[in-house]
Amino acid sequence: MRNLLRWLVTDADRRAIESELAELYEVRRREDGDAQAASWLRRQRSAYVRKLMAERLRGAISGATSSLPHLGRDLAYSVRSLIRTPGLAATIVLTVGLGLGATTAMVSVVRSVLVSPLPYADASSIYWLYTDNPPFRFRFSLVDYRALEADHPALSEVAAYTSSRVTITDAGSADRVNAKQVTGSYFPLMRQTPALGRLFDVTDDARNERVAVLTHAYWTRSFAADPTVLGRALTLDGASYTIVGVLERSDGPLERDLALFTMQQWAVPKRKGPFLWMVLGRLKPGVPLSAAAETLRATNARLFPVWKSSYQDEKATWGLQDLQSRVVGTVGSTLMLVLAAVGCVLLIACANAVNLLIARALGRSRELAIRGALGASRGRLLQHLLAETAVLTGGAAVVGAAVAAGAIALVTGYGAGYIPRVDEVRLSGPALLWLAALAAASGLIIGLVPAIHSARLKMNRALAAGGRSGGEARPARRMRRLLVAAEFALATPLLVAAALVTVSLDKLARVDVGLDTDRILTAAVSLSGRYPTEAARAAFWTRTLDRLAALPGVDAVALSDSRPPREAGQRNNFDLIDKPTPPGQNQPTSPWVGVSLGFFKAAGLSLQRGSLFDQSSLQQDVVLVDRAWANRFFPGEDVVGRRLRNGGCTTCDPTTVIGVVDNVKWVGLDATEDGTVYFPFVDMPNAYLVLRTGGDPAGLANGVRQAMKELDPELAVSNIATGSELVDGALATPRYLSVVVGMFGIAALILSIVGIHGVMAHFVQQHTRDLGIRLALGGDPGAMRRMVILQGVALVGVGVAVGTTAALLSMQLMSSVLFGVSANDPRILAGIPVALLLVAVAACALPARRAARLDPATILRES
Amino acid sequence: MALQHFELHVLVAMLRLGGDTYSVPLVLALEKRLGKPVAQAAVFIALSRLEKKGLVTSRLDETPGGRARRYFKPTRQGVTLVREMRGEHARLWRGLGSVLRAPR
């Protein structure tokens, strides 16, 4: 309390308060006893602080209100005076504006993506239900969903859906769109309403009709919002569906890029797998999450024995995760990192602005002293300086709003592929309020420090100095140096982060995908139900492979159900006959890639051991594995001839490994290589074409499109991409991060260089006379140069040391976005500080040279 | 001049104590008159405001032993204001006795 009182009242008053309190305490003690008096004393002490602070605030408010008439005049004067120093004004407005805009944009992104609830009614009670088989979380099987549908005591509703790309055909043209097959309970669970017609409900499950509901976006885009669309027929993958309704307009992540919903027509399952169903549930009000998880596990445990013959992984159970965190995924850490980066840039920009304004205030000390001598009170002078800051931060806020609008447009456009919910980001009212609050806070930081320093200037001294140097006060000098050190302290972790993400990107770009990406073209083809039998599909794919192989420039062609580096079709669990999974443990899993017989030749994968697939493989239960798989399960042993049972099936025939091929990255460039299993297929409903060429693979695209059109004009070829484009796509997120953090790192570095150069140049200017005298007395110009550089480097050194410590402590938070480089990489943690010190030497070189080249005779004559 | 309710209380208590007094007797006198606890800080702030308005003056009295008291004394303007307010209040309340006494 004493410390606070010291700040609130004069020393004399504080002594009187303490003494009088003690006196009254004695009275209380005599009347009420020790305990009550002690409690009274505590209350009185806190009442003093509280009431005095309130009194201060009241005084400040009434003071501000009473001086309002001067405000307009001050603002006008400030604008005129800033126009006279356009360089300084522009630097502050632009740098602080850039920091404000970037921070506002990132705050908007973080708010929309991470904080705002999903745009569904009572969204916080919607949960994603998953099969929990640590470390994996995957979807439900239909068997599981049906069991959950019948028994879900903790959930008020459950619904399931599958997503797919479907082909809508209309008068000879084919359109590939995204669709969801949903249960009747889906729309009631989401609490969604129709814009037109009706949505599905639980009665639709029993009717088994082919009906569809359009999304508002698709209805507007493809049907020009035609209200007569209801009842119209739509051909989806060759089957006719009736449009029964249009969903209300929705920006939700579950409707993103979606054209329509169809009513599910899933056949009754005969075995537990596959696990393709997304399941949602609404938690009953008042049920704790832990209790809901417990009931899910219990339902699952009751179900397990029923399907044990086709799924024997007893440890796999069900779990639930709130839909919002499921939708946002792992992007949170990246966004927070970028937000921290822009926050640092804003702080550095503010520190720089403070530095420039202190220098300006020192340069104007005589003007302020004259105004003071003519009767302006300190409060008036302070108000005038704050008005100047208000003009600057007002300008910065305008620049900030423009930067924020631009940055949000960039992020929503460029980040649409990998930032979930980014289409919900807007420069909205709350975002502009944020901007205003940030601008006000920045204005306080920028304005108060120089203003307080100006107010402390000794007027007599300033007047006596005749405005030549103004005599930089020691606190001002200390503050300016502190600010420069702080700028470097903030820039260091930012540059360390930029270096880390850049090295990480470089390592990722150098990852060997395993395929000859420069010579490969891929494209997705969906048979869209046009070839209903296995034989028809096999015949079509054989015709396709023959036709494409005949295209000029094509060396080899094949099919696969997956596409590297991150589109693995499915992952399967399995049990090795030679090394069975011990009871109570999870079965191992691997990506399970279906390929046509010629895939390995087309992809350029060489055989390491055993043999590749041939025609007979299609009739046998055989697989190929890669080197990583062989090393994982049979290190140092021969893997050819080993047998396994996949999918948890205990009664199926075992599958035999017939060969080992090179490794390929199927589940992400940054994924650890834990092995892939290849199985032969010729009758898949959807597949990727893989074409190998001796020339430029992109040149094959038109030929492939034309050939497919000739084979079947109703089929849509989509997602045509060369191997290099696929790798580029996988690098988009890390590249985005490294460009953004790198940009902010460079901005921070430039601002810090401006800061240190400004301080040292000002130092030389302030000490021109002292330096001149030293030189006149025979001082060594080299020593002068060294002194200036050493002073600057010492200053930067302190900042860099603090910044490096901060980087060391905080970089662990970056681990999740790094690949192939440790967050505490010693080369980066040592290299960046050294580089910064060298930059500081370079920034101080110019003022140092000026100091060494001063002409003592001229200086002494002038003074 | 605007005078807050509690400031008037403090000024009246000061007159009652014969002027030239400090916070301790004022707190005790106010508590006795009002029949409820009074915060010393509230009295301190009221005195500061009264001083700013020119209604009281103060002096610091410090003894070598370390005891410090700030003594306050009403100015002529302060006494005049209390007199005016008493008249104003008397006029304000005049004739209300029967209304306030009547059972409702």
Give the list of residues 6+ apart from residue A146 with CB closer than 8 angstroms, or none: A269
Give the pLDDT of residue A453.
66
Structure tokens at A57: 């605030």
Question: How many Å lie between the alpha carbon of B51 and the closest alpha carbon of chain A?
Answer: 13
Kindly report, residue by residue over B50-83, the tens digit of the pLDDT. Answer: 999 999 999 998 888 778 999 999 999 999 999 9
Question: How many Å lie between the alpha carbon of B31 and the closest alpha carbon of chain A?
Answer: 12
Per-residue pLDDT, averaged over A401-423, amounts to: 82
Give the pLDDT of residue A529.
67
Distances (CA, A) of A175 to A163, A242, A526, A529, A540: 16, 17, 12, 15, 21
Strand, helix or coil for residue B34: helix
Dihedral of the CA atoms A374, A375, A378, A381 (nearest 10)? -60
pLDDT bin (cut points 50, 70, 90) of residue A271 is low
pLDDT bin (cut points 50, 70, 90) of residue A466 is very low
CA atoms A707, A713, A715, A719: torsion sign: positive
Per-residue pLDDT, averaged over A103-130, amounts to: 89
Beta-bridged to residue A138, according to DSSP, are A131
Per-residue pLDDT, averaged over A655-660, amounts to: 94
Rounded Cα–Cα distance for residues A840 and A484 (Å): 11
Q: Check: CB of residue A230 under 8 Å from CB of residue A247.
A: no
Q: Check: CB of residue A354 under 8 Å from CB of residue A449.
A: yes
Question: How many Å lie between the alpha carbon of B82 and the closest alpha carbon of chain A?
Answer: 24
Structure tokens at A746: 């460079």
Question: How many Å lie between the alpha carbon of A20 and the closest alpha carbon of chain B?
Answer: 6
Kindly report the CA angle at A122 between A119 and A125, in degrees rounded to 5? Answer: 110
pTM reported for the whole predicted model: 0.66
Beta-bridged to residue A293, according to DSSP, are none
Q: Is the pLDDT of residue A442 over 90?
A: no
| B30-69 residues touching A, CB cutoff 8 A | 39-42, 44-45, 48, 60, 62, 66-69
Q: Check: CB of residue A470 under 8 Å from CB of residue A366.
A: yes
Q: Write out chain A residues lying below 8 Å of B40, CB-based.
A: 20-21, 24, 44, 47-48
Distances (CA, A) of A452 to A59, A381, B26: 18, 10, 39
Q: Is the pLDDT of residue A253 over 90?
A: no
Instruction: Give the residue among A807, A785, A799, A808 at the shortest CA–CA distance from A837.
Output: A799
Kindly report, residue by residue over A95-116, the tens digit of the pLDDT. Answer: 889 889 888 988 888 888 888 8
Question: How many Å lie between the alpha carbon of B95 and the closest alpha carbon of chain A?
Answer: 38
Of A351-365, A613-627, B34-48, the poorest mean pLDDT is in: A351-365
| Rg of chain B (C-alpha set) | 16
Give the pLDDT of residue A82.
83
Instruction: Give the residue among A199, A176, A177 at the shortest CA–CA distance from A188.
Output: A199
Per-residue pLDDT, averaged over A524-530, amounts to: 77
Rounded Cα–Cα distance for residues A649 and A103 (Å): 54
Q: Is the pLDDT of residue A457 over 60?
A: no
Question: How many Å lie between the alpha carbon of A15 and the closest alpha carbon of chain B?
Answer: 6
Rounded Cα–Cα distance for residues A761 and A695 (Å): 59
Beta-bridged to residue B69, according to DSSP, are B61
Kindly report, residue by residue over A6-40, the tens digit of the pLDDT. Answer: 778 888 888 899 899 999 999 999 998 888 999 99
Give the pLDDT of residue A467.
43
Distances (CA, A) of A290 to A28, A126, A156, A329, B50: 54, 15, 16, 21, 62
Q: Is the peptide bond before A86 cis (omega within 30 degrees of 0)?
A: no
Q: Is the pLDDT of residue A536 over 50?
A: yes
Rounded Cα–Cα distance for residues A564 and A725 (Å): 11
CA A396 to chain CA centroid, nearest Å: 26
Which of A14, A23, A26, A50 to mutate against chain B (most B CBs within 10 Å)? A23
Domain locations in chain B?
A: 5-101
Domain locations in chain A?
A: 2-66, 135-314, 331-509+732-862, 517-726
Q: Is B4 on the interface with A (CB under 8 A)?
A: no
Question: Position A687: which residue type?
Answer: A
Q: Within a 13 Å sphere around the CA of A645, how many CA atoms are in the beta-carbon half?
A: 19
Question: Position A858: which residue type?
Answer: T
Dihedral of the CA atoms A726, A729, A734, A737 (nearest 10)? 160
Check CB contact under 8 Å for A48 and B44: yes
Question: How many Å lie between the alpha carbon of A19 and the closest alpha carbon of chain B?
Answer: 6
Give the pLDDT of residue A863.
60
Dihedral of the CA atoms A550, A551, A556, A560 (nearest 10)? -100
Structure tokens at A480: 């300016």
Rounded Cα–Cα distance for residues A237 and A530 (Å): 7
Q: What is the ipTM of this complex?
A: 0.91
A616 vs A370, higher pLDDT: A616
Give the pLDDT of residue A424.
80
Beta-bridged to residue A159, according to DSSP, are A280
Instruction: Classify domain B5-101 by CATH number.
Output: 1.10.10.10
Nearest to B40 among A12, A24, A50 (CB): A24
Per-residue pLDDT, averaged over A389-416, amounts to: 88
Give the pLDDT of residue A677.
94
Rounded Cα–Cα distance for residues A586 and A581 (Å): 7
- Classify residue A616 as exposed, middle or buried by CB count within 10 Å of its CB (0-12, 13-18, 19+): exposed
Q: Is B73 on the interface with A (CB under 8 A)?
A: no
pLDDT bin (cut points 50, 70, 90) of residue A312 is low
Q: Which residue of A has its CA nearest to B38?
A: A44
Rounded Cα–Cα distance for residues A367 and A388 (Å): 15
Which of B4, B24, B72 to mutate against chain A (most A CBs within 10 Å)? B24
Give the pLDDT of residue A261.
96
pLDDT bin (cut points 50, 70, 90) of residue A542 is very high
Question: How many Å lie between the alpha carbon of A70 and the closest alpha carbon of chain B?
Answer: 24
Rounded Cα–Cα distance for residues A91 and A99 (Å): 12
Mean pLDDT of chain A: 85
Give the pLDDT of residue B72.
95
* Range picked from A195-209, A411-425, A557-571 for highest mean pLDDT: A195-209
Structure tokens at A362: 């020192």
Q: Check: CB of residue A697 under 8 Å from CB of residue A691.
A: yes
DSSP 8-state class, residue A547: H
Kindly report, residue by residue over A171-195, the tens digit of the pLDDT. Answer: 566 778 899 999 999 999 999 999 9
Give the pLDDT of residue A81.
82
pLDDT bin (cut points 50, 70, 90) of residue A469 is very low
Q: Write out chain A residues lying below 8 Å of B22, CB-based.
A: 16, 20
Structure tokens at A225: 């919002």
Per-residue pLDDT, averaged over A58-86, amounts to: 78
Check CB contact under 8 Å for A16 and B42: no
Long-range contacts of A481-485 (CB under 8 A, 24+ apart): A481/A759, A481/A795, A483/A351, A483/A352, A483/A354, A483/A355, A483/A755, A484/A351, A484/A355, A484/A752, A484/A755, A484/A756, A484/A759, A484/A795, A484/A796, A484/A799, A485/A795, A485/A796, A485/A798, A485/A799, A485/A802
Total residue length of chain A: 863
Kindly report the CA angle at A273 between A267 and A277, in degrees rounded to 5? Answer: 70
Give the pLDDT of residue A470.
44
Check CB contact under 8 Å for B39 and A47: yes
Instruction: Give the residue among A767, A762, A562 at the shortest CA–CA distance from A677.
Output: A562
Give the pLDDT of residue A472.
53
Rounded Cα–Cα distance for residues A450 and A365 (Å): 11
Q: Check: CB of residue A515 under 8 Å from CB of residue A626.
A: no
Kindly report the CA angle at A633 between A627 and A634, in degrees rounded to 5? Answer: 75
Size of interface A-B (CB pairs under 8 A): 55
Give the list of residues 6+ apart from residue A230 with CB closer than 8 angstroms, or none: A196, A197, A243, A244, A245
Would you list which residues of chain A are within 8 Å, Cβ to Cβ, of chain B? 12-13, 15-21, 23-24, 27, 43-44, 47-48, 50-52, 55
The DSSP H or E segment spanning B71 is: strand B68-74
- Classify residue A788 as exposed, middle or buried by CB count within 10 Å of its CB (0-12, 13-18, 19+): buried
Of A131-145, A606-620, A793-807, the poorest mean pLDDT is in: A131-145
Q: Which residue of A has its CA nearest to B25?
A: A24
Q: Is B21 on the interface with A (CB under 8 A)?
A: no
- Classify residue A650 as exposed, middle or buried by CB count within 10 Å of its CB (0-12, 13-18, 19+): exposed
Q: Which residue of B has its CA nearest to A14?
A: B68
Q: Is the pLDDT of residue A714 over 80?
A: no
Check CB contact under 8 Å for B23 and A48: no
Rounded Cα–Cα distance for residues A204 and A468 (Å): 88
Neighbour tally for A441: CB within 10 Å: 14
Which of B22, B23, B40 to mutate against chain A (most A CBs within 10 Å)? B40
A585 vs A619, higher pLDDT: A619
Per-residue pLDDT, averaged over A322-351, amounts to: 85
Check CB contact under 8 Å for B41 and A48: yes
Rounded Cα–Cα distance for residues B51 and A659 (Å): 99
